[in-house]
Chains A and B, each alone.
Chain A
Amino acid sequence: MTILNRRDLMIGAGALGAAAILPRTGHAAGTLTAAIYPGTWEEAYRGVVAPALKKAADIDVAFDSLFAVDQVAKVRAARGVPPFDCFVLDPGPAAAAQAAGLFEPIDASKLSNAPKVPTGLITSHGVTCNAQVVGIAYNPKKFAAAPKGWADLFKSPYVERLGLTGFQTTFGTVSIIEMAKVFGGSETNVEPVFAELKKAVAKAAAVAAPAAMPGLFQQGQIDIMYTNTNTVAILKGRGVDIEFVKPETGAITFQTTLHIVKGADNVANAYKYMDTAISAEVQTLLQRQPYNMIPINKDVTLVDTLDIKSLDELAKMATHDWSKINPLRAAWIERFNKEITK
Chain B
Amino acid sequence: MAGAVATGGGGAGALMEKVDWRLAAPLGLTYLIFFAAPFAILLGVSLYSDSEQTVLGFGSWTKFYTDAFYLKVIYDTLKLGVFAVVATTFLAYPLALVFRASSPRIQRVLIFVILMPLLTSVVIRTFAWIVILAREGVINQTLMTLGITATPLNLLQTELGLVIALTQIEMPLMLLPLLTIMNQMDQNLVDASRALGSSKWRTFFRVILPLTLPGWIAGATLVFASATTAFISQSVIGGARLVYLPALIWQQSMVVYNWPFAAVASLTLLFTVLSGIMALGWLGRFAKTT
- What residues make up the interface of A, taking CB atoms closer than 8 Å to B? 69-70, 72-73, 76, 96, 164-166, 168, 201, 205-209, 212, 215-216, 219-221, 329-330, 333-334, 336-338, 340-342
State in angstroms the CA–CA spacing of A212 and B242 once bound together: 14
State in angstroms the CA–CA spacing of A205 and B69 once bound together: 23
Say yes or no: B240 contacts A164, CB within 8 Å.
yes
The A interface, classified by DSSP as helix, strand, loop or mixed, is helix
Question: Which B residues are CB-close (under 8 A) to A342?
Answer: 241-242
State in angstroms the CA–CA spacing of A336 and B255 once bound together: 14
Q: Which residue of B lies closest to A161 (CB)?
A: B135
Say yes or no: B135 contacts A220, CB within 8 Å.
yes
**B127 located at the interface, meaning its Cβ lies under 8 Å from any Cβ of chain A in the complex:** yes
Question: Which A residues are CB-close (under 8 A) to B256?
Answer: 329-330, 333-334
From B136, B235, B251, contact of A219 by CB (8 A): B136
- What residues make up the interface of B, taking CB atoms closer than 8 Å to A? 51, 69, 127, 130-131, 134-137, 156-157, 235-236, 239-243, 248, 251, 253-258
Question: Which B residues are CB-close (under 8 A) to A330?
Answer: 51, 256, 258
Q: Provide a sorted-by-A list of 13 A–B residue pairs whose CB atoms are within 8 angstroms.
A: A69-B255, A72-B257, A165-B240, A166-B240, A168-B251, A208-B236, A209-B235, A212-B235, A215-B130, A216-B156, A219-B134, A219-B136, A220-B135
Say yes or no: A96 contacts B240, CB within 8 Å.
no
State in angstroms the CA–CA spacing of A168 and B251 once bound together: 8
State in angstroms the CA–CA spacing of A72 and B236 once bound together: 23
State in angstroms the CA–CA spacing of A92 and B130 once bound together: 30
From B51, B236, B255, contact of A212 by CB (8 A): B236
From A209, A216, A341, contact of B134 by CB (8 A): A216
Give me 18 other A-B pairs in contact (C-beta within 8 A), A209-B239, A333-B255 excluded. A70-B254, A72-B257, A73-B254, A165-B240, A201-B241, A208-B236, A212-B236, A215-B130, A219-B130, A219-B137, A221-B130, A329-B256, A336-B240, A337-B248, A337-B251, A340-B241, A341-B241, A342-B241
Say yes or no: B136 contacts A206, CB within 8 Å.
no
From A69, A209, A333, contact of B236 by CB (8 A): A209
Say yes or no: B130 contacts A208, CB within 8 Å.
no
Least Cβ distance of A222 to chain B in Å?
A: 9
Least Cβ distance of B132 to chain A in Å?
A: 10
State in angstroms the CA–CA spacing of A73 and B249 once bound together: 13
Say yes or no: A208 contacts B157, CB within 8 Å.
yes
Q: Which residue of A lies closest to B258 (CB)?
A: A330
From B137, B239, B255, contact of A168 by CB (8 A): B255
Q: Which residue of A lies closest to B131 (CB)?
A: A219
From A70, A76, A208, A329, contact of B239 by CB (8 A): A208
Question: Which B residues are CB-close (under 8 A) to A337?
Answer: 69, 243, 248, 251
From B127, B240, B248, B251, contact of A208 by CB (8 A): B240
Q: Which residue of A lies closest to B158 (CB)?
A: A342
Question: Which B residues are CB-close (under 8 A) to A201?
Answer: 241
Say yes or no: A220 contacts B239, CB within 8 Å.
no
Least Cβ distance of B51 to chain A in Å?
A: 7
State in angstroms the CA–CA spacing of A219 and B241 once bound together: 19
4 nearest A-B pairs in the assembled complex, by CB-CB distance = A220-B136, A219-B134, A208-B239, A330-B256
Question: Which A residues are CB-close (under 8 A) to B69?
Answer: 337-338
Question: Which A residues are CB-close (under 8 A) to B156?
Answer: 206, 216, 221
From B130, B242, B255, B257, contact of A216 by CB (8 A): B130
Least Cβ distance of A331 to chain B in Å?
A: 9
State in angstroms the CA–CA spacing of A341 and B240 once bound together: 7
From B134, B136, B137, B157, contact of A207 by CB (8 A): B157
State in angstroms the CA–CA spacing of A153 and B145 once bound together: 31
State in angstroms the CA–CA spacing of A96 and B255 once bound together: 10
Say yes or no: B239 contacts A206, CB within 8 Å.
yes
Least Cβ distance of B130 to chain A in Å?
A: 6
Say yes or no: A220 contacts B257, CB within 8 Å.
no
Say yes or no: B251 contacts A333, CB within 8 Å.
yes
State in angstroms the CA–CA spacing of A254 and B108 once bound together: 57
Given contacts A215-B130, A330-B51, A330-B258, contact A73 B253 (CB under 8 A): yes
Say yes or no: B241 contacts A207, CB within 8 Å.
yes
Say yes or no: A69 contacts B254, CB within 8 Å.
yes
Least Cβ distance of B257 to chain A in Å?
A: 7
Question: Which B residues are CB-close (under 8 A) to A221?
Answer: 130, 134-136, 156-157
